[in-house]
Chains A and B, each alone.
Chain A
Amino acid sequence: MPSAMAIQVEHISKTYGTFRAVADLTFEVYHGEIFAMLGPNGAGKSTTIRMILDILKPDTGKIAVLGGALTQATKDRIGYLPEERGLYRGVSLIEMMVYLGTLKGMSAADARAKAMGYLDQLDLAAFAKKKVSELSKGMQQKVQFAVTILHDPELIIIDEPFSGLDPVNTLIIQDLLLDFKRRGGAIVMSTHQMYQIEAMADRLMMISRGQQKLYGAVDAVRAQYALPAVIMSGTGDWATLAGVARVEPGENGRDGDMVYLNAGVQSDDVLSEIARREDMHIRRFELAVPSLNDIFIQVVEGERDGQAVVGR
Chain B
Amino acid sequence: MDKLWLVAKYEYLTNVRKRSFLIASLGVPLFVIVLMVIIFAVTAAQFDIAAIGAVGYVDASGILADELDQPDTFQTYADETAARAALDADEIGAYFVVPADYEASGRITIYAGASVPGDLRRQIEGYLIANIGATLDPVLLERLQNPVTRSLRTLNNGRTITEAGLVGLFITPIIFVMIFAMGSQTTSGYLMSGVVEEKSNRVMEILITSIPPFQLLAGKIIGLGLLGLTQLGIWAVVSGVIAAISGNITALRGVSLPPDLLLLGLVYFVLSYFMQASIMAGVGAVAGGEQESRQLAGVLSLIFFLPLFFFVNFITEPNGTIPTILTLIPFTAPVAVITRASFGTVPPSELVASLMILIVTTILIVWVSARVFRWSLLMYGKRPSLRQMLGALRSNRIETTAGGETMP
Chain A residues close to B by CB (< 8 Å):
50, 53-57, 63, 69-72, 75-76, 78, 80, 82-91, 95, 99-100, 102-104, 147
Contact = CB atoms under 8 A, between A and B. Distances in A.
B200 A80 contact: no
A70 B210 contact: no
Contacts, number: 76
A82 B381 CA distance: 14
Interface stretch (B42-50, B137-145, B315-323, B395-403): B395-403
Nearest to A46: B380
Contacts of B18: 90
Interface of B: 3, 6-7, 10, 14, 18, 197-198, 200-203, 205-212, 377-378, 399-403, 405
A55 B14 CA distance: 27
Nearest to A17: B388
A76 B210 CA distance: 6
B201 A103 contact: no
Contact of A86 (B14, B203, B211, B405): B203
Given A55-B378, A90-B18, 18 more contacts: A53-B209, A55-B401, A56-B399, A57-B402, A69-B403, A72-B403, A82-B202, A82-B206, A85-B201, A85-B203, A86-B203, A87-B203, A88-B14, A88-B201, A90-B14, A95-B14, A103-B3, A103-B6
Contacts of B205: 55, 80, 82, 85
B121 to A, nearest CB: 58
A103 B207 contact: yes
A80 B208 CA distance: 10
A25 B6 CA distance: 37
A contacts with B: majority SS: loop
Nearest to B382: A16
Nearest to A101: B210
B202 A86 contact: yes
A86 B205 CA distance: 11
Contacts of B400: 57
A76 B211 CA distance: 9
Given A57-B402, A70-B402, A99 B210 contact: no
Given A100-B210, A103-B3, A54 B202 contact: no
Contacts of B402: 54, 57, 63, 69-70
Nearest to B3: A103
- Which are the 10 A-B pairs with shortest beta-carbon distances? A86-B201, A103-B210, A82-B205, A85-B202, A82-B202, A54-B401, A80-B209, A99-B10, A53-B209, A54-B402
